Structure 1
């Protein structure tokens, strides 16, 4: 007689539990999608990029495109404003084949040029009559390209800082030559030069593996040089930061974002403020800012609630009116279109927890650009620090004397790691002197240039710390006449 195997429902019950949860999540997702769909059309029509819309919605660009097509926002045919051309599968295969063929032709031309150069190389004087093979170290930027040659200034700077004399081509053949020249340890720093002679400086444990990762973002990169550095990563980072600043000081155009001053190429800021508006703004920041009445972006109620207590604490401060006026004056004079860029490209924290002495701190990209803090003295002063571009400050003795007469001191020891080659920290003993400080044409030019450069790099990294109540209180003050007219002397 056979006994029937006992069935344990434990796993089936677990499966049923997960299945129920899955159905709940799918229902919840369907509800969220229903809330998203009505927002896609107005956001699309505002002109935001496909990447921004897809990232905000948590969807792929293809999904966003399909949903907009269903709503009739874009046509089923080719959409010039779309994220990609509406090719058929046959068209895609044709385009892909053309691209592959083009790449092969380029490689064949480079290979032919290299072969021709190697065949023309004279035999070594001690050889037996056979042509000696060309060492990778003997190849220069001019050898590796028929139609393009590297900038002599870049070569002189790189060689003078310890990078190799050899400029390797940044392609498969060039990397093979590099690996044969450095078969073992390829840990260190590199500098590559682009077709327009911009440079980028970086580090890598294996530079041969790291360099190809730059091709997508920097397709114009043509040659590179190598500086061995077997130390740890922190040491290489320090050297990288020093070299980036040194290259900018030497007059080279540096594409690094983290340690360089300025930003090369397109920026996400251009979507919000056109490049023409940015150029015009630099000529008259306060005058351009004054008539701007853009609505502030909507923030989540949770974020507003999170900072309400700090703002109410600030309102009880005995110098609250002065503090708000100081923030208003700085925004009106030094921040590009402060209403339009508030909460995205610049943020302000109220009584930041990272430093108890500080009252507020304005941040752009990853840096603080202006903050005020309680001074450690018996007078109860509130000092201020501004970070600016020193290229716009007077370099002569008397220029600094005139700035000192306004109460401005130069702090050469206080710098950010990623502040760039031209960052300068300025200190004002008390906020009552700030209105006079911001009347200086040099200070305003230095602050506006520094801030615009940071905004062009990226949006503020400190959005969760932004206090809308403080920003709104400052922005809603009418722009004062005093700061809209810079002095013509300092």
Structure 2
């Protein structure tokens, strides 16, 4: 969780050519959007830092979906088991993100009490306090952190406390079993997530 243990990843990724070709048109549509470079930059940071042994676990334990067609909906979504982990949305010409994490990682007393959310901690994890807000999705110990703007999303992914929370939530759901969203995995997006990843 703290990045001190280095797990050996696979040297090569397991791939399905049929699935790779299935989502090429969606990926090309995403590339035509004004947010494309920001999406790819954040995905690369997320893939490098937030998913354990990503090449070995790709598709079977986590997946990334390319969803650029529906206005107001996510451009991309990362899932594990039956759970959404992370989504990026268009926000004007920029992007906004939704991270799902354990509520107990963001409460002052590490409880499940929604009234104990540590707003000061959330604000320290982003560039500007107005860039962060939160939601309480259904489910025990689940907390949604909404962040606006490339700089604040990048900082949230780089701040030790929030990064540990993301890793813990991702590992929890990857440990719950095989990914239910394997059929919607976009290898073209995953290529960017895993580029520069050291196995």
TM-score interval (norm. to shorter): 0.7 to 0.9
Change (3 A) 1:347 1:353: farther
Q: Cα offset for 1:381? A: 2.7
Q: Following superposition of structure 1 onto structure 2, how do residues 365-384 of structure 1 map, counting pairs within 5 Å? A: 365-375=81-91, 379-384=92-97
Change (3 A) 1:341 1:406: farther
Structure with greater strand percent: 2
Query: 1-side partners of 2:53 and 2:141: how far apart?
Result: 24
**1:474 and 2:193 aligned:** yes
| C-alpha distance after superposition, 1:390-449 (max 9, x if no partner) | 222252454344235555524234x1x4x4x21110011123322211121111111111
Query: 1-side partners of 2:151 and 2:127: how far apart?
Result: 14
By relative contact order (CA 8 Å, sep 6+), the higher-ranking structure is 2
2:151 counterpart (426, 432, 438): 432
**1:310 and 2:26 aligned:** yes
Q: Cα offset for 1:327? A: 0.5
Query: 1-side partners of 2:10 and 2:62: how far apart?
Result: 17
Change (3 A) 1:457 1:355: farther
Change (3 A) 1:322 1:400: closer
Partner of 1:269: none
Change (3 A) 1:318 1:293: farther
Which runs of 5 or more residues in structure 2 are unaligned?
A: 109-117
Partner of 1:49: none
Provide the TM-score with structure 2 as the length reference: 0.82
| C-alpha distance after superposition, 1:283-327 (max 9, x if no partner) | 317x736x745311121x322221011112222333433211201
Q: Following superposition of structure 1 onto structure 2, how do residues 350-369 of structure 1 map, counting pairs within 5 Å? A: 350-351=66-67, 357-369=73-85
Partner of 2:113: none
Provide the TM-score with structure 1 as the length reference: 0.35
Which runs of 5 or more residues in structure 1 are unaligned?
A: 1-281, 480-490
CA contact (8 A) 1:390 1:446 kept: no
Query: 2-side partners of 1:458 and 1:478: how far apart?
Result: 24
C-alpha RMSD over aligned residues: 2.5
Structure with greater helix percent: 1
Q: Cα offset for 1:373? A: 0.8
| C-alpha distance after superposition, 1:240-287 (max 9, x if no partner) | xxxxxxxxxxxxxxxxxxxxxxxxxxxxxxxxxxxxxxxxxx2317x7
Query: Rg bigger for which structure?
Result: 1
SS across alignment from 1:438: helix
